[in-house]
Amino acid sequence: MIPYGRQSISDADIEAVVAVLKSDYLTQGQAVPAFEQGLADYCQVPHVVACSNGTTALHLACAVLDIGAQDTVWVSAVSFVASANCVRYYNANVDFVDVDPATGNLDVVALDKKLQQAMRTHSLPKALITVHLAGQPCDLEEIGALCRQYGIILIEDACHALGAHYQGSPIGSCRHSDMTVFSFHPVKPITTAEGGAITTRDPELAAKLRLYRSHGITRDPQALFIPSPGEWYYEQQLLGFNYRLTDIQAALGLSQLSRLDQFITQRCELARRYDALLSLLPVQPLQQSNNRQSGYHLYVIQVAERDQVFARLRAAGIGVNVHYIPIPAQPYYRGLGHDPAAYLGAQAYYQGAISLPLFPALTLSEQQQVVDALEQALCG
């Protein structure tokens, strides 16, 4: 089976992990700060807080907003469920914004209309979580401008998009948002096995993120409520979590980060080859927008009779997948009163979406095998 995604591990990655295993610190050493600094340099952002996975990164981003049952957060209708679950952990309300079916990304026109209506009914959200689906940046400038106009906090869910660029700036630079969230799952642009991070330009948010990441505890003399009586002293200042990344994971991440641009180049080359190979088939790749460079975490196509084509590809040994079922269609969110039929763009996107295998180590012969199998599957 050719998988839709796979990690790329080098000897240098293994050596970096082994070096930590032989060191004095497997966790809470110097590897995590080094990884955070490497990400900060790459993303051109002053603050990075690494954590245990992308879901905990989303959870931390919501934690620092102090949201509760009286608040509402809007989320792109097409994403993995974690993009919305992070809001529900705080018993806050989730509402969804429709997507453009041609890209799978948040529809700015739909957002504008929804904000105007919410303004009239005094029901504006506290925050918006927008998603860079498949690695393609959404319309950040327009979305950011709307959020500033209405006083809404903007969080970028960039779990697919490390290495992507928008208007020449790396995703994660937070030029239009308050925070950006990344994931380092094995199929993502780089991996730490499991891991995540939040970037921000706001030093107060960064300090709060670090507190929430580690039980709400600090030893920083500048932040203590009571002058420290000794080096052993610490304070729990809020109810936090243990969402720390280990040094083992951080060492792998820092080693991977040195090859991120190479990974993105390989993904883009494979995507362009898919574009050419599929040009005569009755399929439609996701539309690529101007002024941005996708990180091509996924290569998504739209096909007719998706379910049958999917089954035929799986039977042929092609590990295709679907990213994603619209979140409002999930039973949990239906139970909260959400109607998936209200999100026509999300439904149109979902009905035809298939993710083809795409990862840096995908060989040209494997890619040709995918295309040949797709051609056969389309013929029935």
Task: Evaluate whether 135 touches 295 at the Cβ level (below 8 Å).
Answer: yes
Identify the band that residue 321 occupies on the pLDDT scale cut at 50, 70 and 90. Answer: very high
User: What's the token pair of residue 308?
Assistant: 């049958």
Averaged pLDDT of the chain: 98
At 248 the pLDDT is: 99
Q: 220 and 89 in one domain?
A: yes
Q: Of 257, 290, 305, which residue constitutes the final position of a domain?
A: 257
pLDDT band for 35, please (50, 70, 90 cuts).
very high
Q: Given 240, 257, 274, which residue is the final one in a domain? A: 257
Q: What is the mean pLDDT of residues 140-158?
A: 99
Which pLDDT does position 302 carry in this prediction? 99
Look up the CATH number of the domain holding residue 207: 3.40.640.10
The one catalytic residue in 114, 126, 188, 208 is 188
The answer to whether residues 264 and 252 belong to one domain is no
Higher local confidence (pLDDT), 289 or 112: 112
Q: What residues make up the domain containing 318? A: 260-379
Whether residues 123 and 196 fall in one domain = yes
The answer to whether residues 36 and 60 belong to one domain is yes
Q: Are strands 196-200 and 217-218 parallel, antiparallel or unpaired?
A: unpaired
Same domain for 245 and 106, yes or no, is: yes
| CB-based contact 273:301 (threshold 8 Å) | no
Whether a cis peptide bond, with omega within 30° of 0, leads into 324 is: yes
Q: How many domains does the chain have?
A: 2
Q: Are residues 333 and 232 in the same domain?
A: no
Residue 123, pLDDT score:
98
**Quick one: pLDDT at residue 99?**
99
For the chain, percent of residues with pLDDT exceeding 70: 100
Residues in the chain: 380
Provide the 8-state DSSP code for 152: -
Do 280 and 307 sit in the same domain of this protein? yes
Residue 224 shares a structural domain with residue 279: no
Is residue 192 domain-shared with residue 310, that is, in the same domain?
A: no
pLDDT of residue 380: 76
What is the C-alpha to C-alpha distance for residues 298 and 358, in angstroms, rounded to an integer?
6
Identity of the residue numbered 178: D
Same domain, 268 and 234: no
Hunting for tokens 């996975």 — which residue is that?
53
Instruction: Please list, in sequence order, all residues whose beta carbon lies within 8 angstroms of the beta carbon of residue 49, skipping any fewer than 6 positions away.
Output: 36, 60, 197, 198, 200, 206, 209, 210, 213
Where residue 338 sits, what CATH number does that domain have? 3.90.1150.10
pTM exceeds 0.95: yes
Residue 19 is predicted with a pLDDT of 98
**Final residue belonging to a domain, choices 205, 225, 257:** 257
Q: Is 351 left (phi over 0), alpha (psi -120 to 50) or beta?
A: alpha
Find, among 33, 311, 20, 285, the residue nearest to 135 by Cα.
Answer: 285
- Measured CA to CA, the distance from residue 142 to residue 124 in angstroms comes to 18
Structure tokens at 259: 């090859």
What mean pLDDT comes out for the span 315-331? 99
Is 113 an active-site residue? Answer: no
Could you tell me the end-to-end alpha-carbon distance of the chain, in angstroms, rounded to an integer? 20
| 253 and 265 share one domain | no
d(CA 321, CA 300): 9
Q: Count of CB atoms within 10 A of residue 364's CB?
A: 10
One domain for residues 76 and 135: yes
